[in-house]
Each structure stands twice: as C-alpha cells, then as structure tokens.
Structure 1
C-alpha cells in the first residue's frame, strides 16, 4: 500500500478541522490558566468564544499518542524512529525526547554530566557560531537524532550552541475552540466525616467549592501542517513523505484515543474535514499504520541510519558544574 500526497505538492499548508462534541451529556471543562481561569473572549462577530485546549497542550497531546509507556518505546507503527532516551545510572528509564517538556533541549539531556548529545551538537553545528544559521544542516542532524523535533519544533536555548539561535517553529500545530458558549455553574463539598469542623487549612473539615463548566453548539479542533517548512528542510521526498505521514498519524490517533482531555472534558470526533487543499483526502489511521514502517525503512536506508537509533543519555541526579 502507498499513500497519495500529490495533492499537497504545491500548497503551503494542510489545514484540517475536526468537529467535536461531549462524549456524554452537554457540559465540558476547558483548560485553565493561572490568574485567569478559563480563557473566554469575544469572537470577531461578537459571539462568546472559549479556548478549550491551547496550542502548547495540544503539541504535548499529539506526542503522547505516539508513545507506549508500558513498553517504553514508540507505538508499533513508529518503531525505528530516532529519539533520545534518558536513563539513570542503573539503566532505569527517566524520560525521552517524545515526552520531555523541552524535548532535546531538556536539562536532563544537555545539563547533566553526560555531555554526549551536547558534544555532538557542538561538533556538527560548530560552523554556525558566527553568521546565519543553516536550518537545513540543523534539520539533517535532528533527523537522525530526534526526528520528532522536525514536527514539534525545537529551541536550543544555549549560548554555546550558535549563541542560542538554533530553533525550528512547530511544523504541526493545533488548538481547540468552542463557539457561542454558555456557562454551566455548579459546585460541591469535600466532606470530612471524621471532623467536619476541622482546620481546613490543613486539609480537614468540610470544604464547599464552586465549579465552572461550559456548553457550546460547536467545538472544533484545528490542525495546521506547515508543508513549506517541511519541504524547506531539503531532506528529500522520502523524508518529506515520512514527516507528513507521521503528522497525519498523530492527528488520527489523537482524535481516536486522545480526546479525554480532563475528567470533565471527554470528547469525541464527529467529522474530520480538510479545508485546504480541499482535493486532499486524509488517509484512515489503519492505512497510515500499514505504510509507516515501510516509510521508516526507506528513510533509514537512504540516510544510512544505524540499526539502533536510540541515543542513550545517563542522568545521575546532578547537573554539570557551571561553565563546564
């Protein structure tokens, strides 16, 4: 089986919209922000809008569906993709560049006493200390070290790596909005059946609380795949097709199994629509799962990837001395 991406060859973006609804009932709980709470705002036409899930959170959720936490490995269709794993001195897994908040810029990778990844970055990107940053060269390095960075984006914020100028924006971004929202106020009580009048500051006693949820006639997840950026890496058609297929797999997997955003925000997808280019049809998840292993193998052969594509970094619980 092969995938037909011909409709994407001459367009800058692939734009998708997924129509969502609560799995049960009508209410849902959006993401909240410190000192702000729910992110409500007025839309251009005056309708009340709500940010259900931010771009930052969606980026992480699109990573989570790629990882099998039980096996500590990629999910089956993605096995063989390069990444960096962090282990303790006993070989116990700690984190990796799929799940780590700052990916390859994680302090567990670049700030520990094991400087193998940092040394490799310095060595292979040494000619960028002065002058313009060669993003194609950076992309080539990331392809074999942490391929997911080419979709998720990267910011190597270290002064000794091209003066902190090494960054790629997200090629795959997403967010979820709700339109024409209405508040659904409720509340409850944390009951203490032992000492109802106990000191609530210490966790005792009965504690009443308010709860804000929302209803909306329309909830939409938006996905934006920057095809111009992916082609701009200059890594060839096989890599481009692999990155597109990987991005589409993330979207399909998220819509299938990643929509339980919170206890009180469990959604389901009613329809996935391509808004640009409209001639493109998103492959089903099963088709993507069937073709991804071959795409990975093709790129591995073309780029001479080693059999073991996992880079191991040891973390002993302490960072290297400042200036070392």
Structure 2
C-alpha cells in the first residue's frame, strides 16, 4: 500500500468535507459556551448556521483518537513518534503532551521542579533571544520532542524562551457546522422519590428543566491541512510526508470512531469529499495505518527525533530555585 503525495506538492491546502447525519433520529446537541449557549449565527445568504463543534474541540478529538489510554501509549500505527510524558513522585502516569491542551507549553511540563524539558528548550533555542524567530529551527526542535505539536500549533509563552515569541500556528484545523437549523425544545425532570418537595438548592426535591437541541438538513465537518506551512518548515520530504499522513490518519480516525461528540450528539458520515486539490483521493484508514510506521522510521533514520523517543518529566509543584548570582544578574 502507498499514498500518492505527488499531487500535493504544489497545493497550498488540502481541504476535506464530510457530510454528517445523526446516527439515530433527527435531533442533535451542539457545543455550548459560557454566557452564550449554542452558537447560532446568520450565514452570508441569511440562512441560520450553528457551530456544532469548535476548532479547539476538534483539535482535541483528533489527538484523542491517537492515544491508547489503557496502555498509556500511542495507538499502534503511531508508535515511535516522540512525546513528553509526565509522571508523579510515585512514577505513575500523570499526563503527556498529546493529552495536554498546551502541549509542550503545559504547566506540568515547564512549571514544576523538574526542569528537564525547559532546560533543553532554552539551550536549543538560545540564539533566538534577540532578533527574528527562526521558524525552521523552532519546528525542528518541536519535531524532536513532540511531533504532534507541529500539526496542532504551539505557543511557548515564557519570557525565558525568546521573550515568549515562539509560536507555531495550526497546520490541521477542523470544525463542524450545521445549516438552516431549527430549534428542537424538550425537557425533563430530576425526580426525588424520597422527598419530592425537598430543598432543591441542596440537591433534594423534583427539579424540572428545559433542553434545547437542534435539527438541520445539512451538517458538515470541515478539515483543512495547510500544506504550504508544512513545506515552509523546511524539514525535508520525509518529514513532510509523515506530517501529511499523520494529519490524514487523525481525520480518518475521527470520522471512523470519534463522532460521538456528546450523549445527545452521535453523528455518522453520509459522504466524504476532497474539495482541494481536485481529483485527489483520500486514503483509507487501513492504508494510512500500513504506511505510517515506515514514514516514522524514515524520519527517525534522519536523526530528527529525540532518543529515547519518550522524554519523561516528574511533576512536583514549584520551580527549582535559580542560583543567587544568576538571579541578581537578571535583575
């Protein structure tokens, strides 16, 4: 099995659309936001649109499908990719950069007493303290420790690291949107069969509630892979092909078994279309699973990954104190 990367060499974007439908019934529950609720807005043609799932949430979902939680490791096709694991004082897994929202910039990685990763980043990026940020070098360093972060973006917001100017935008992004939506109001009641008239503020008593779901004739998941940005990293063909295949695997995995967004929002794929570039066919998940180990090995052969591939940090709250002389010099 192989993937035809040739048609992507000159394309600035790879755009994919998946038409979705509720797995059962017609109603679905969208994402909600504090002080806003569901995000309903007017489209350019005056039609009512609804944000079913945000870009931030879809990024999390595309990372979740890559992680084998029971075994605390990558899923089988992705084993060998570098990442950072955080353990507690007893050596038990705490978190990792695939699951952390801020990835390499996680407080559990950079804000504890174990400064292993912070010291590595500071040493390898020291020449960026002044002047323009070298994005190629930054990308190479990020690839070494956490290849996943190159796809989902990174902001190392620490003044000790190039004055907090180290940023990589998202390469792969996604959101789900519904068109011509209609509100489907319903409700229910939390029953207390012991004391129906009890103090509801303390969790007792019967509590009626309303519920707002939606229906829509069209629900679409949009995926965007920024091929120009991948090439812009300047890390070579092997890295480019690995990042593209990894992004495609994430998309396929989410569409195959990651669309149960909420209890009342379980979706299924009706139709999948590549809108750019024309006539390019999206590989099946089993094809991607077959080629990814070889692509990972090819990048490893170029010494692009940290060895060992897993960098371990022990979490203990509070940073290690700097030597007095160094602190005074900085002041």
Structure 2 Cα separation of the partners of residues 193 and 278 of structure 1: 61
Aligned length: 323
1:319 equivalenced with 2:315 (yes/no): no
TM-score, normalised to structure 1's length?
A: 0.98
Structure 2 Cα separation of the partners of residues 107 and 205 of structure 1: 41
Quote the residue 1:251 is aligned against.
251
- Measured against aligned partners, the alpha-carbon deviations of 1:40-77 in whole angstroms (never above 9, x if no partner) come to 00100011100000001001000000000001000000
1:264 equivalenced with 2:268 (yes/no): no
Structure 2 Cα separation of the partners of residues 70 and 271 of structure 1: 32
Please report how far the alpha carbon of residue 195 of structure 1 lies from its aligned counterpart in structure 2 after TM superposition: 0.6
Structure 1 Cα separation of the partners of residues 284 and 97 of structure 2: 27
Please report how far the alpha carbon of residue 306 of structure 1 lies from its aligned counterpart in structure 2 after TM superposition: 5.6
Tell me the SS of whatever aligns to 1:244: helix
What RMSD over aligned residues (CA atoms) do the two structures have, in Å?
A: 1.2
1:181 equivalenced with 2:181 (yes/no): yes
Quote the residue 2:303 is aligned against.
303
Question: CA 1:86/1:36 → structure 2, altered by over 3 Å: closer, same or farther?
Answer: same
Quote the residue 1:58 is aligned against.
58
Tell me the SS of whatever aligns to 1:213: strand
Structure 2 Cα separation of the partners of residues 307 and 281 of structure 1: 35
Question: For structure 2, which runs of at least 5 residues remain unmatched after alignment?
Answer: none
Structure 2 Cα separation of the partners of residues 176 and 304 of structure 1: 34
Question: Would the aligned equivalents of 1:50 and 1:178 in 2 still touch at CA under 8 Å?
Answer: yes
1:94 equivalenced with 2:94 (yes/no): yes
Please report how far the alpha carbon of residue 307 of structure 1 lies from its aligned counterpart in structure 2 after TM superposition: 5.5
- Measured against aligned partners, the alpha-carbon deviations of 1:253-311 in whole angstroms (never above 9, x if no partner) come to 00000000000000011111011101211100000000000110111011264663000
Quote the residue 1:40 is aligned against.
40
TM-score, normalised to structure 2's length?
A: 0.96
Question: Would the aligned equivalents of 2:144 and 2:306 in 1 still touch at CA under 8 Å?
Answer: no
Please report how far the alpha carbon of residue 319 of structure 1 lies from its aligned counterpart in structure 2 after TM superposition: 2.1
- Measured against aligned partners, the alpha-carbon deviations of 1:23-46 in whole angstroms (never above 9, x if no partner) come to 000000000000000000010001
Residues 162-181 of structure 1 aligned to structure 2 (within 5 Å): 162-181=162-181
Tell me the SS of whatever aligns to 1:148: helix
Structure 1 Cα separation of the partners of residues 272 and 71 of structure 2: 30
Please report how far the alpha carbon of residue 2 of structure 1 lies from its aligned counterpart in structure 2 after TM superposition: 2.1
Question: For structure 1, which runs of at least 5 residues remain unmatched after alignment?
Answer: none
1:138 equivalenced with 2:138 (yes/no): yes
Question: Would the aligned equivalents of 2:82 and 2:306 in 1 still touch at CA under 8 Å?
Answer: no
